[in-house]
Every structure is written in C-alpha cells, then in structure tokens.
C-alpha cells in the first residue's frame, strides 16, 4: 500500500487587545508534483509594534515566502530554496524602509519577525528569525525548537536583535528534523507563547473537535491570561508520511543530471523535440511540443561546457526562479511544471517572431513613433525586474523578441542580479562578448555592481542605435576602464541631416547614456516621457558650441576652411 505525506492544519489569528493585528500567517498545501518536489509550507510573521507599516512587512514576508518558495528550482534543496527566498524578501523589505521617511529609524520601518515550517518527504525544515517560536509536541512533551533573537537588558527591558528588513543582510536560523506520525508542531507569536504552557496546549488539543478550534482555544486562553499583544497560532499534525525510501528519491532529485544533446524527433521528459533553435556556449535551446497538451514550448538546457561548472549550473537554476517571480506581458513567461522532471532544464513559452537584432536589419531606418513604441514596451519589461529589486544587466537586441502582434518581450535571464543574493559570476563575465559589451553601462568596466540606471543606459544605447545605426560613443566604452578615461568619452549626437529627429529627443538619449550613472535619469519612466514630450530643461538650456558637441566635426570643418584659404591664397599668388 502506497504511503503519502498527509497533515492536519489549524490556524487562528486575532488582534487581541491591540487596535490592529500586525501578525500575518499562511500555509500552502500543494498537490503533486509540487507536493513531492517542494513539500508543504507553513509560515507566520509578527510586525514590530513601534512601526505603523510592520503589518505590511509581515504580510509581504509570509506571502513572498509562500509564493517564491514554490518558484525555486526543483533541483534545489529545501534549505537552499528557503534561504534564497528569505534573503530576497529581507532585501526588499530593507529597500522599502530605505526609500521611505523612516530610513534613519529602522524601528519604524518595514521590519518583522518570521518563522516557517516546510515539511517534505519525512523531514521537517525550520526557518527562523526574530522572536516568534516553533514548538514540537511529541509524547506529551512540548519542546521549543527555535531560539529567540532578543537581547534582555533587564527583567523588564529587552530589544529585538534580529528580524527581516532590519538590516541589508540577515542571518536565518535553519534546522532539519526527522518526522514521526503523530508529531504536532506549534507556531506562535510572543503574544501567545508568553501566556501559555504545555498543559494549555494539550488541554486544547484534547477538548477541541479539530485543529482550527484548538488553535482558537490556545489563542483565547492567552488572552484570558493577560496577553496584551496580537495572537497568532498555527498547529500542524503529521497524519501520514511518504515511504522511507522516498527520502532517497528526493535526495537524488536535488542532484538532477544535465540532459543529453537533443535532436529533432527525440522524445524527452514528456516533450517531443521539433528542432534545435540555438546551441551556444551557455545553453542549448530547443523548440518542442508538450506531448500532454500539444502546446509548443521552448526547452532551455545547460550547454555541454557548463555541465562541469557548478557555478554556471547555479546561475542556470537561478534563471528559472527569476522567471517565475516576474509577471509581465513584456517578459518571457515560464511554463507550469506539471510532471516530475528527470533533468535540469527550463520550459518557457514559445514566441513566434524575431529578435530586435533581426528587426533592425529588416528595418534600418524606423520612424520615430515606431521606435518610441518599441522602447516603451522594453521599458515596461525592465520595470517589472526593478520592482522586485532585480537588475537585468544584459539588455541587447538579441535578448529582445518581437512577436507577430508587435508585442515586445525580454528573454534570457542569465545575467540578472537579484538584490541581496551574491552573484555567482561577475557582471564583466556576463558581458565579455564585444556585441554585448557595447550595450553595457560604463560602470561595469570599473568593476562596480549594476543598478537600475545601468539597465537605463542599455535602453538608451538601443534607442540611439535604432535612430542612427551606430553607438553613442562608438566602440570606446569597453576600452575605458578608468574614471579618467570615461570622463573623456564624447557623446556623438544622434541628429542627422537626413533624419527628422527633434533636438530634445537627442538630449533625452544623451542624458540616458551619460557615462556617470548619477547624471542619468533616476527612473526609466522619465526617459520614456522625455522621448515623447519636449523637456523644458533641455529647451531652455544654451546648447554647447560645436567644438564640445562634435569635436571631430569641428576640427574637420576648420581644416577644410584652412585648406580653402590656402588654395585661394595660392591661386592669388600664382596670378
């Protein structure tokens, strides 16, 4: 008889004696194949009372964890998936505080405690930061499994030492435990556990008809005993476990092999390969048909060269997580994984169209309104990354697709940097090809980390190329690897005698591609707006003399005039 993971869950949360509930809790009980691949996740967060926005922090932490954990690669361990997600959540919360009026007072910012329980196969995985608690009740004994990250100054005074959103980086406690049928886990905020004990918990479990009622009874008992805080309780009972040998299966899943080289007509993990789209140094890309749904999809697998590099495979697996976090019509969409996979690969939607690189070959002199429309769509795709504290880092025409309806989609997330997650490869390693380097922001060549303004620079270069067929600094940017060299970079105006381009459009592009990132626009939306509307700051300023705008053209003109003068004087002397 087959064994399956099965739990019972009870939850209760109330504001108690406080004016509002700053706690937040949630759980996800997926079906197969996610149940076997990722397990069951339960989480709660407690916003700090000194902050008016901590309830938002608590909600964002729980929903972010429950959503993003299931977006991580099936090839990642629970520990790796949970830590990556929480690192990103912490970075996002900290960034929200830094951008708010509370940037100098973190106790009023987006800060919360967090505890989560992930149950996969026959193992419980605990993630914890702050002073909420997770207990295990086994054999009548209630055992505290987490440590309070609170510093006691005296019997009456203490302060929170660690929490999500408190600092740029966070240390997450992790613990794994073997499960037994009948184990019961209790997750609770301090408003509950400071006013309850093992006897109260056992009494509630014995008298309540189900775990929801038991959770409510525990919370209400804490209130009767004098709790003045919010009250949140989660109860998780293990009713059934997967067969013991499943542990070995799931361990093997975390070490999935790379797929073999595929050819047309091959059958592969439930897909029929139609043709090879591309074989590159980083990945092999195939057009395939899902045998179950008949849908055309794209399968991306690590290249043969990458298979010996753990760092490269880590970067490849991170791509899938990034893709699943972003929801934008202008960003490539991953396909849902409905079957157990046996290899490392990513499945995405198939875009029937062409790259912007090919489109530029077919349309060498696009009209300005067409250029604006394409740039606006690319900008919306980039903004979807930036809203999640991600920097795309590799924007170039080859990574932009235009489908049959004219919709633009950004593809290939191999170089994307996620805030708070240390990069596996440096930005320079990702842009070492000349074609990509010409679109890379100058700060990358100084060894600096990219920002949203670096993506803006790349978008500005594409705008310049679409209107002129050239690059704003020629091929000099990749060669300029000192600040002194970058200060000498001279912008070449996009204005041409044979093109009707307003001068203020040229000014907007010049600002977007300024070598100094702090001289560029703060937001991509500002650049797009200025491409459509004359910026009064540009119109009112005095345009620099020709020698500053076009030094080469200036000296060529001077030389030509001098040549004419010499010729005229020579003719006069001859006569």
Which of 94-103, 123-132, 256-265, 290-299 shows the lowest per-residue confidence on average (mean pLDDT)?
Answer: 94-103
Q: Which residue did the predictor score with more confidence, 75 or 406?
A: 406
Chain-centroid distance of CA 347 in Å reads 18
Is the pLDDT reported for residue 431 higher than 60? no
Verdict on whether the full-model pTM lies above 0.75: no
* Three-state SS at 177: strand
Q: Is 141 exposed, middle or buried (0-12, 13-18, 19+ CB in 10 A)?
A: exposed
> Would you state the pLDDT for residue 426?
45
Q: What is the pLDDT of residue 515?
A: 96
What's the rounded mean pLDDT across residues 17-40? 91
Q: Residue 350's pLDDT band (boundaries 50, 70, 90)?
A: very high
Looking at residue 553, its pLDDT comes to 67
In a 13 Å sphere around the CA of 504, the CA atoms on its Cβ side amount to 15
**Residue 541 pLDDT:** 59
Q: Please state the rounded mean pLDDT for residues 336-365.
A: 91
Inform me whether the pLDDT recorded for 28 exceeds 70.
Answer: yes
pLDDT exceeds cutoff 80 at 568: no
- What pLDDT, on the 0 to 100 scale, is given for residue 574? 56
- What's the CA gap between 36 and 108, in Å, rounded? 40
> What does the mean pLDDT of the chain come to?
87
Mean pLDDT along residues 407-415: 92
Cα-based torsion angle of the residue sequence 70, 72, 75, 79 in order, rounded to the nearest 10 degrees: -90
Strands in 141-144's sheet, in edge-to-edge order, are 6-14, 231-240, 184-188, 133-138, 141-144
Grade residue 567 by pLDDT with cuts at 50, 70 and 90: confident
Is the confidence at residue 527, as pLDDT, over 90?
yes
Confidence of residue 153 (pLDDT cuts 50, 70, 90): low
387: pLDDT strictly greater than 80: yes
Please, which pLDDT band fits residue 531 given cuts at 50, 70 and 90? very high
Residue 428 has pLDDT above 80, yes or no: no
Residue 148 has pLDDT above 60, yes or no: yes
Place of tokens 């299966």: 249
Mean pLDDT along residues 135-158: 84
The confidence band for 33, taking pLDDT boundaries of 50, 70 and 90, is: confident
- Residue 432 has what pLDDT? 44
pLDDT, average across residues 498-525 = 94
Cβ contacts of 152 within 8 Å, gap of 6 or more: 158
CA distances from 529 to 376, 379, 441, 471 (A): 9, 11, 21, 22
Does 454 have pLDDT greater than 90?
yes
SS3 of 484-504: the string is HHHHCCCCCCCCCCCCCCCHH
Round to whole Å and give the CA distance between 503 and 511: 13
List the single range of 57-66, 296-305, 367-376, 515-524 with lowest mean pLDDT. Answer: 296-305
Contacts 24+ apart (CB under 8 A), 475-482: 475/434, 475/438, 477/437, 477/438, 477/440, 477/442, 477/445, 477/515, 478/434, 478/437, 478/438, 478/440, 478/445, 480/442, 480/445, 480/515, 481/445, 481/446, 482/446
Is the confidence at residue 253, as pLDDT, over 60? no
Query: Mean pLDDT throughout 497-516?
Result: 92
pLDDT at 251: 45
Confidence of residue 359 (pLDDT cuts 50, 70, 90): very high
Tell me which DSSP letter residue 478 carries.
Answer: G
The answer on pLDDT for 434 being more than 50 is no
- Give strand pairing partners of 128: 115, 173
Lowest mean pLDDT among 167-176, 271-280, 400-409, 423-432: 423-432
pLDDT at 433: 42
pLDDT at residue number 317: 79
Q: Which of 15-29, 411-425, 457-471, 554-568 has the lowest mean pLDDT?
A: 411-425
Check residue 1 and give its pLDDT: 38
In this prediction, residue 419 has a pLDDT band, given cuts at 50, 70 and 90, of low
């Amino acid at each position: 008889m087959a064994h399956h993971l099965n739990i019972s869950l009870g939850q209760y949360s109330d504001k108690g004696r406080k004016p509002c509930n700053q706690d937040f809790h949630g759980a996800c009980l997926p079906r197969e194949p996610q149940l076997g691949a990722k397990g069951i996740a339960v989480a709660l967060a407690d916003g700090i009372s000194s902050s008016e926005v901590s309830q938002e922090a608590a909600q964002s932490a729980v929903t972010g964890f429950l959503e993003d954990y299931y977006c991580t690669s099936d090839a990642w361990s629970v520990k790796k998936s949970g830590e990556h997600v929480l690192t990103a959540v912490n970075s996002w919360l900290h960034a929200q505080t830094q951008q708010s009026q509370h940037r100098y007072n973190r106790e009023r910012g987006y800060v919360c405690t967090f505890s989560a329980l992930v149950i996969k196969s026959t193992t419980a995985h605990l993630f914890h930061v702050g002073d909420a608690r997770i207990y295990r009740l086994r054999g009548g004994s209630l055992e505290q499994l987490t440590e309070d990250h609170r510093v006691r100054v005296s019997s009456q005074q203490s302060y929170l030492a660690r929490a999500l959103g408190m600092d740029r980086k966070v240390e997450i406690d992790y613990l794994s435990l073997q499960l037994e049928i009948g184990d019961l886990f209790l997750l609770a905020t301090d408003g509950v556990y400071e006013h309850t004990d093992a006897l109260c918990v056992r009494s509630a479990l014995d008298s309540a008809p189900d775990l929801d009622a038991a959770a409510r009874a525990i919370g209400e008992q804490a209130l009767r005993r004098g709790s003045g805080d919010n009250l949140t309780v989660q109860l998780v009972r293990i009713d059934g476990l997967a067969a013991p040998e499943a542990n070995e299966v799931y361990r093997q899943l975390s070490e999935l092999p790379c797929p073999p080289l595929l050819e047309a007509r091959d059958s592969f993990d439930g897909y029929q390969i139609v043709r090879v789209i591309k074989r590159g140094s980083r990945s092999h890309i195939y057009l395939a048909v899902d045998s179950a749904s008949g849908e055309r999809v794209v399968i991306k697998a690590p290249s043969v060269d990458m298979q010996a590099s753990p760092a490269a495979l880590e970067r490849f697996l991170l791509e899938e997580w990034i893709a699943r976090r972003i929801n934008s019509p202008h960003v490539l969409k991953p396909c849902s994984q409905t079957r157990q996979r046996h290899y490392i690969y990513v499945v995405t939607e198939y875009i029937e169209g062409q790259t912007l690189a090919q489109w530029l070959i077919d349309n060498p002199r696009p009209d300005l309104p067409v250029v604006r429309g394409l740039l606006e769509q690319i900008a919306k795709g980039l903004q979807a990354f930036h809203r999640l504290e991600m920097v795309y880092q590799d924007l170039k025409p080859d990574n932009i697709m235009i489908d049959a309806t004219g919709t633009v989609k950004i593809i290939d997330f191999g170089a994307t940097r996620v805030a708070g997650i240390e990069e596996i490869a440096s930005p320079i390693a990702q842009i070492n090809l000349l074609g990509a380097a010409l679109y890379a922001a100058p700060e990358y060549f100084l060894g600096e980390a990219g920002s949203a303004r670096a993506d803006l620079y790349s978008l500005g270069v594409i705008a310049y190329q679409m209107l002129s067929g050239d690059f704003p600094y020629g091929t000099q940017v990749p060669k300029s690897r000192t600040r002194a060299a970058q200060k000498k970079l001279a912008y070449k105006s996009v204005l041409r005698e044979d093109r009707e381009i307003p001068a203020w459009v040229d000014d907007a592009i010049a600002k977007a591609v300024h070598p100094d990132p702090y001289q560029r626009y703060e937001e991509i939306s500002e650049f797009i707006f200025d491409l459509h509307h004359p910026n009064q700051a540009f119109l009112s300023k005095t345009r620099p003399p020709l020698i500053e705008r076009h030094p080469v053209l200036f000296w060529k003109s001077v030389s030509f005039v001098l040549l004419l003068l010499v010729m005229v004087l020579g003719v006069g002397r001859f006569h």
